[in-house]
Chains A and B, each alone.
Chain A
Amino acid sequence: MTVDFFNQEFQGTISQLKSYILRITASMTDAEDIVQDTYIKALEKLNTFRGESSLKTWLFTIASNLAKDNLRAQTRWPENVTDITKAAALSNKHFFQEAMNIRTTSPNGQFEAKEHIAFCFTCISKSLPLEQQLCIFLKEVYEFKISEISLILDCTEAMVKYYLHTGRSKMINIFEGKCALINKAGVCHQCSELNGIFNPKQNTQEELMKLDLVKEAETGDKEHLFDLRMQILREIDPLNSKASELQLHHLEHNKQVMEKYLEKKTD
């Protein structure tokens, strides 16, 4: 493979690589660094690439290995991350001022419930063991086959299936107990609350009903609802969407709050 061809292919994969690492580390800086290191490593090893897998699989393998060594990727957040970060946001007047500023000035500062659903999933997925989190994103969002994930993560297909099954089960269970979008008794209404703040002229309920996840909530089919949630993630590029700047601001806030929270816990 020529360097020119590689560069061209890399450019085609870069946004997926970056969003994948962002979702794992919750850090824009780390995502930029890891993708840069992925490029350097891939270029160094280009003569060893035999085409036994696709170039995309090979790049995700390098990026995943770098992510596994990254401290922020390794750090696990508690299941109730969104409760902790919500409390922190409510007691931080600068947070909403900055967010509102982004909302009114940035072309990527819109608030959309589906973008918040994706953001929320990213945060809560950091409560899973890292292998489970990696497998879920690789399979459900970046649509790799189990055999490809087995290559990317250097583990057997049986273990990929185990990580996927247990990770999915845990996430389904968390959202079933928490998310008011799919369960009337759910305790988290953050999507609706934030939509009311950022889009005061909208009828929030009408907006939410545009989402298949909400429309089909009454079926109670947990697996199907999880698949619909994953469909939302697949359709959103967290780095280049209508709401990316606002959601990245939220993510940076949550990352900082969690770092302080975990630091306090270890003291």
Chain B
Amino acid sequence: MRAKAKPEAEAVTAEMTGAEVLIHSLKKENVEVLFGYPGGAVLPIYDALYRSPIKHILSKHEQGSIHAAEGYARVSGKPGVVIATSGPGATNLVTGITDAMMDSLPLVIFTGQVASTVIGTDAFQEADIMGITAPITKHNYQVRDVQDLPRIIKEAFHIATTGRPGPVLVDIPKDVANKTISPDYDSTIHLPGYQPTFSPNILQIKKLADAVGQAKKPVILAGAGILHANAGKELLTFTEKHKIPVVNTLLGLGSYPGQHPLFLGMGGMHGTYTANMALYECDLLISIGARFDDRLTGNLAHFAKNAVVAHIDVDPAEIGKNVPTQIPIVSDAREALRKLVDVDSETPDTEDWRNQLTENSKNYPLWKKTNTDEFLPQQVVELVHEYTKGDAIITTDVGQHQMWAAQYYAFTDANRWVTSGGLGTMGFGFPAAVGAQLAFPDQTVVALTGDGGFQMTLQELSTLQELNLPVKVVIMNNHTLGMVRQWQEAFYEERYSHSLLPVQPDFVKLGEAYGIKSYKVETQEEARVVFEEAFSHRDPVLIDCRVSGKENVYPMIAPGKGLHQMIGVKP
């Protein structure tokens, strides 16, 4: 049937195995790097890969592969591509897939599966990865007929990278990968149920422009949607045109210049006083590409309660989910901002409002201990900022070190900040740094981690060694699971249940065992000497920073409290 009368070259499409079709399709999608780990069910795919020029990064655990792919996707905007085998290979990806789903990162994941004939028999290394990943993927496919493979791969990349980005998984039974066919690469995408809205409804834009004109206390909440849509420039133009102050979400950091006079800092649980009070007191809240996470809003009863809420989001399901919205706009962030800039509208008089906010910033800046000999974790972030001139890609896990990085690094550019926001995954940062470094080989990439999180995925040191990737691993080592300890101190009467880590490996010897230059620093002075050296060359480095173990992240909104009920606002 395939042989019928297409003249010349196309008629004699070479016979290929499913695995070869996969590799060929990846080339067509311009995939430059794969993150993966081989195994029984993907042997045909790895055999096809053996003859392919596509770069494959062998991690030491599938979790390392998928977090690396997330880091790659986060900074490059390109989809991260992952291959893992069936069963345990696939289930080891689950945390990363969920993480990517929560933080809207485009991933295309290929898992091997046992042969079609034995699916459902509890065969060796069989797992129902379709069932397992249904709730944590944007979409998933199991390839039943190898002829569908080119179309499914096209659809997978299309779905992962358009609309609200997210992970898409393609499960490939071993026999499908082995089967020989004459592939049809011309088969087109057919997704009648997937038509993401890209451009805003102009009437809604006008409504918002009118609201802007009438506002006295407007504020913009800028989330990661700005970064996904590459809308930083448009956001800057819009805010400068109308003099509207900007608050960033955790994941939105870098979408607005950190030193800009209209920038109020990060909002939320450990955000700045100024940012949170702006969200609390505003009369017009324009959320763009943010999803009102509970860590951002605090108690919803107190959140922007006197404000008209406008919400621009590419995902209609986010609008009105947590916060009642008067002006919903389903759109790509850049498209909406362009239209907003173009539309005729009055500029509000926000001078009093801005003065009030500036006053807040002056009176309630971020603070840390002074007059102390202790080496403070905040100082580590400041030093990293100093020695990287504020231009490094920073990756983190979740917890205290993450919050300090968010507070003190002052991101000025887009796509420099790679953190696990929605899922809050320990062990994310270090492998994510590997992926980010592969996306930008010439950039300085710093994996800022805690001593707890680092020990969850430290096996990837071997990947650094093998590729000689110049990632700088900076461990903010306080011998505790810091955020857990902080909450136990605050809310559990200092019962430090399993949150103290007095016994640790010697991180310097550990790094050296992997052939990586490693240092331990215990004071700011020592840190300066080591950082000077570490950031002057293009080799991987591990620095074990022994910081004070008793520091807490402030200011803070306790769980259940409103944005205006911050504690630890002043020393």
A binds B: no
